[in-house]
């Protein structure tokens, strides 16, 4: 529906689609299927049969552009294994780095190294970060107390995450302008 709306497609030009819910785990109990569910439900064998018998036709470049216009949750991996998923809004490393981050048109990754020696207690910059955005790379020492800002899925408010607690980060490319819910809400 969003693809049709984005391109202004109507009538016979509209993209037709099927919604399929595949229950692929052998031990998963099927829930009661709602009468108003506008989707097909299949088990693993039915899903494989569907893939084998469906002839998708030619590749639609406009549909690929629509699908690539969405982003995914960002991931902040913390020391100790905890993973935060949501949207990273700012790196919190100063205006220049936040501008670099905001200007991205592709994924951003970060790998951090924490000083572990007893002398690191006296260091002003105990954390080192390597940020990558495509072919652009930035290395920086992070002073104690700096935090990135993000919204974690399921939480009502944004939160600050101290860089000293971060192991690595994956931030997806920003959504296309038409897919950005914050921009759409403001208009």
Domain termination residue (choose one: 68, 94, 118): 68
Q: Do 53 and 95 sit in the same domain of this protein?
A: no
Q: What is the reported pLDDT for 25?
A: 73
Q: Which residues of the chain have pLDDT under 50?
A: 182-187
- Residue 174: count other Cβ atoms within 10 Å of its Cβ: 19
Domain termination residue (choose one: 50, 68, 86): 68
Q: Do 95 and 42 sit in the same domain of this protein?
A: no
9 Cβ contact partners less than 8 Å away, ≥ 6 residues apart? 3, 15
Domain coverage including residue 130: 74-185
Q: What is the reported pLDDT for 115?
A: 65
Q: Do 86 and 160 sit in the same domain of this protein?
A: yes
Q: What is the reported pLDDT for 120?
A: 53
- Smallest Cα–Cα separation from 98: which of 107, 106, 88, 90? 90
Q: What tokens were used for 147?
A: 């935090």
146, burial (CB in 10 Å: exposed 0-12, middle 13-18, buried 19+): middle
Q: What is the reported pLDDT for 72?
A: 83
pLDDT in tens, 42-73: 888 888 998 899 888 888 888 888 888 887 89
């Amino acid at each position: 529906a969003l693809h049709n709306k984005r391109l202004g497609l109507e009538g016979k030009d509209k993209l037709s689609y099927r919604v399929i819910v595949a229950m692929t785990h052998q031990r998963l109990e099927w829930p009661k299927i709602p009468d108003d569910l506008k989707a097909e439900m299949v088990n693993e064998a039915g899903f494989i049969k569907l893939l084998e018998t469906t002839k998708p036709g030619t590749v639609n470049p406009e549909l690929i552009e629509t699908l690539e216009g969405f982003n995914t949750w960002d991931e902040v991996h913390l020391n100790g294994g905890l993973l935060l998923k949501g949207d990273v809004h700012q790196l919190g490393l100063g205006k220049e780095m936040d501008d670099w981050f905001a200007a991205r048109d592709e994924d951003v990754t970060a790998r951090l190294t924490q000083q572990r020696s007893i002398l690191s207690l006296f260091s002003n910059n105990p954390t080192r970060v390597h940020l990558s955005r495509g072919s652009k790379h930035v290395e920086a020492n992070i002073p104690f107390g700096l935090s990135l800002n993000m919204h974690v899925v399921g939480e009502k408010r944004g939160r600050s995450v101290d860089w000293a607690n971060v192991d690595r980060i994956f931030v997806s490319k920003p959504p296309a302008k038409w897919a950005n819910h914050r921009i759409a809400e403001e208009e």
